[in-house]
Amino acid sequence: MKVAIYIRVSTEDQARDGYSIRGQKKDLTEYCKANELEIANVYIDDGYSAKDTNRPKLKELLSAAEAGEFKAILVYKLDRFTRSVRDLYDLLEKLNKHGIGFISKQEKFDTTSAMGRAMIGILGVFAQFERETIAERVRMGMVQKAREGKKPGGKHPYGYDKQGQSVPEEFSILRKLRELYMDGLSYQAIAAHFTRLGVKRRKNNWTASSVALTLENPFYAGIIRFGGKMANGKYPQRKREERVEVLESDGDHEAVWTKEEFKEHIELMRRRSTGGFGRVNTYWFNGVLRCGRCGAAMYGRLTTKRSLKDGSIVRSSYYWCSNRKANKSCDMPMFRQSHVELLVLDHINQIVADQELAKANQDRIKTKELRTKEEIDEIESDIRKVNSRIDKWQYAFAEEIISAEDLRKRMDEEKKSLELLNSKLEKLKGEKKQQLPDVIMNLHDIWKVADDEEKQNLVCTIFKKITLNTEMTNVKGKKNSFFPATAEIEYR
């Protein structure tokens, strides 16, 4: 029978206690000879704990098991495989589905026999007991922490360090986020605004979802909340029977905004979601529109209500410079949204008319995509080479070709190489954004059938910045709605 040997060692102490790679391999090899077992492969996880199953060689072993490369897995001792009854049961269930046995030399545990297979059922009972006991202890601990005004678990959100202390730079961004929302910007427009300025949410870009979740998080108002519904009225993603009565207390951490401010913008979020407030999707160009006179952002507003002859009420969207609004330091006139729309579509039509420019743009994009793909392929190839070298160093140690000190040194060097390569790969994949030449070329037709939300999404996706320019200063009257102006556009 073909077997795969799995070896794990986590610390120098374990090596001294007889669990070294070399020692485990020697004992298991002798066991195979004595029991006439053929060794298909040896999988070694060096320097990994058994607290979970997130180990590279264990994952490789399980993939090989699914492919049917051997009939059983052999380990020196159960705790070399896992220290959790729950994980052991789950792993054995997975192996059993593929007809793969499991043998532990020390405990005489062998699922290739009838007695061993019966043990899987017993393990299942203990695994369920372990799950429920851990869950109950964790829940009780979280409730007690919440009552004491402490965060009941998990990472501290953006704005705080690992110890729960405020990060001034991030606090400033959070306050700006709320200010933009109260000024009328949508979640998407705020995310686009921060992206354009290069403001990150730690390592990630802001999104409409992360903006909304930030605003509705009571932690930022100094409130510790556990269980029950969230600020948006929805339950957290957990089973109905696991939901507990909501607990609220004053936290011992520094708040970003006051409880009154929190209630104010939560109420505004509810009104906007139910139609009790001017729809933010009316403002298609929020987040990308800039004043060509002072460089400040331009924000959407609605005109006062106007009654038509048929009795209906209308309100028009327009944009004004934030400096004009804040302190009247800029005299840029207000632009109707229909005026901005006309300027942008005229600009697009000029690009479409210039076929040579369009073709050159497509060729440039294809060249850049090809170069990026080649760089990604090269780095992925280098990563595979490093992983191959790691395997060779481990086997060299197991065969007593190199010492433990040499192995540690080599492994440290290879891990540093992997970190560097993975960092480069992540950066390249992040830069490999979807190019939109076809969307730009067909924007005029798409725009005709798009609704408000789709138009706003198109603007945030395609345009990086739209700068409005005009020599006009004081524009009044409906007849002057479309005064002379131009739009400078930067694409993403």
Q: What is the mean pLDDT of residues 291-301?
A: 89
Residue 184 in this model has a pLDDT that exceeds 70: yes
Instruction: Locate the domains of the chain by residue range.
Output: 2-130, 168-277, 279-492
Asked whether the CA dihedral 412, 416, 419, 425 is positive or negative, the reply is negative
272 vs 489 pLDDT, higher one: 489
Pairwise CA distance, residues 185 & 193, whole Å: 10
- Fold observed for domain 168-277: Hect, E3 ligase catalytic domain fold (3.90.1750)
Confidence band, pLDDT 50/70/90 cuts, at residue 365: low
Pairwise CA distance, residues 231 & 139, whole Å: 21
417 is annotated as an active-site residue: no
Pairwise CA distance, residues 189 & 288, whole Å: 8
Pairwise CA distance, residues 205 & 197, whole Å: 11
> Strands 335-336, 463-469: parallel, antiparallel or unpaired by DSSP?
unpaired
Residue 262 in this model has a pLDDT that exceeds 90: yes
Q: Which CATH class is domain 2-130?
A: alpha beta
Global confidence as pTM: 0.36
pLDDT per residue as tens digits for the range 66-95: 999 999 999 888 778 887 777 877 888 889
DSSP code string of 341-409:
HHHHHHHHHHHHH-HHHHHHHHHHHHHHHHHHHHHHHHHHHHHHHHHHHHHHHHHHHHTTSS-HHHHHH
Pairwise CA distance, residues 386 & 406, whole Å: 16
